[in-house]
């Protein structure tokens, strides 16, 4: 194997920066799902149902469960339900990019000084050629959805307390 040119990152630096990007996507995805779970807890009166929710091992099923619970909890607030639907649909749309991040087999192309999808293993169907841009866009979009869920929780709490909505959700 050839040594990389002096200005290129070493293999360790490549792996570290790539691992950081994947880790950031993972952490933000988990933050979004914690917000999903907190909304479920806000909506659900049953301690048993809340415990069962956290036993669900599939993010998509948890989101569907939240939407179902939101149908009842947000009956008096159709605008909040619409925001919930839109936000969960947006998260559903981001799931494939998240899966491409997490479930791709990666390799180091040290002579070229970059990380790439492993050539001997099929890539995830949603992985784009410029995956760094894809993953950075994903981070921004996930952060937006986290914020949307956060604002929805605040507005729901305010309405339950008889206060006017303090934030405006996405349109």
Question: What does the pLDDT read at residue 118?
Answer: 93
pTM over 0.75: yes
Question: What does the pLDDT read at residue 9?
Answer: 62
- Is 6 contained in some domain? no
Residue 165 has pLDDT above 70, yes or no: no
The confidence band for 30, taking pLDDT boundaries of 50, 70 and 90, is very high
Question: What does the pLDDT read at residue 14?
Answer: 86
Question: What does the pLDDT read at residue 112?
Answer: 78
- Is 94 contained in some domain? yes
Task: Tell me which residue of 23, 11, 155, 168 sits closest to 77, measured CA to CA.
Answer: 155
3-state percent helix, strand, coil for the chain, nearest multiple of 5: 65, 5, 30
Question: What does the pLDDT read at residue 1?
Answer: 42
- Is 121 contained in some domain? yes
Question: What does the pLDDT read at residue 13?
Answer: 87
Mean pLDDT over the full length of the chain: 91
How many Å apart are CA 152 and CA 79, to the nearest integer? Answer: 10
- Scan for tokens 């349109």, then name that residue: 171
Question: What does the pLDDT read at residue 113?
Answer: 80
Question: What does the pLDDT read at residue 4?
Answer: 47
**Is 169 or 125 the better-scoring residue by pLDDT?**
125
H or E stretch at 109 = strand 106-109
pLDDT per position as a tens digit, 128-138: 999 999 999 99
The confidence band for 157, taking pLDDT boundaries of 50, 70 and 90, is very high
Question: What does the pLDDT read at residue 166?
Answer: 59
How many Å apart are CA 56 and CA 62, to the nearest integer? Answer: 6
Q: Please, what is the angle between helix 47-55 and helix 59-73, to 10°?
A: 160
- Is 170 contained in some domain? no
What is the span of the domain harbouring residue 18? 11-160
Number of domains in the chain: 1
Contact between 28 and 146 under an 8 Å Cβ cutoff? The reply is yes
Residue 2 has pLDDT above 60, yes or no: no
Q: Which of 37-51, 85-99, 151-165 shows the lowest mean pLDDT across its residues?
A: 151-165
Q: State the Rg of the chain over Cα.
A: 20
């Amino acid at each position: 194997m050839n040594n990389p040119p002096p200005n290129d990152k070493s293999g360790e630096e490549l792996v570290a920066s790539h691992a950081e990007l994947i880790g950031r996507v993972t952490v933000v995805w988990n933050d979004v799902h914690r917000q999903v779970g907190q909304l479920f807890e806000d909506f659900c009166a049953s301690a048993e149902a809340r415990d069962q929710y956290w036993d669900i091992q599939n993010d998509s099923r948890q989101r569907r469960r939240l939407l179902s619970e939101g149908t009842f909890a947000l009956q008096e607030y159709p605008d909040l339900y619409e925001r919930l639907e839109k936000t969960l649909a947006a998260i559903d749309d981001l799931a494939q990019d998240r899966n491409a991040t997490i479930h791709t087999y990666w390799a180091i192309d040290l002579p070229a000084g970059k990380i790439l999808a492993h050539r001997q293993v099929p890539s995830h169907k949603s992985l784009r050629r410029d995956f760094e841009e894809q993953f950075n866009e994903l981070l921004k979009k996930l952060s937006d959805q986290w914020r949307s869920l956060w604002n929805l929780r605040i507005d729901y709490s305010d309405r339950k307390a008889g206060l006017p909505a303090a934030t405006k959700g996405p349109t």
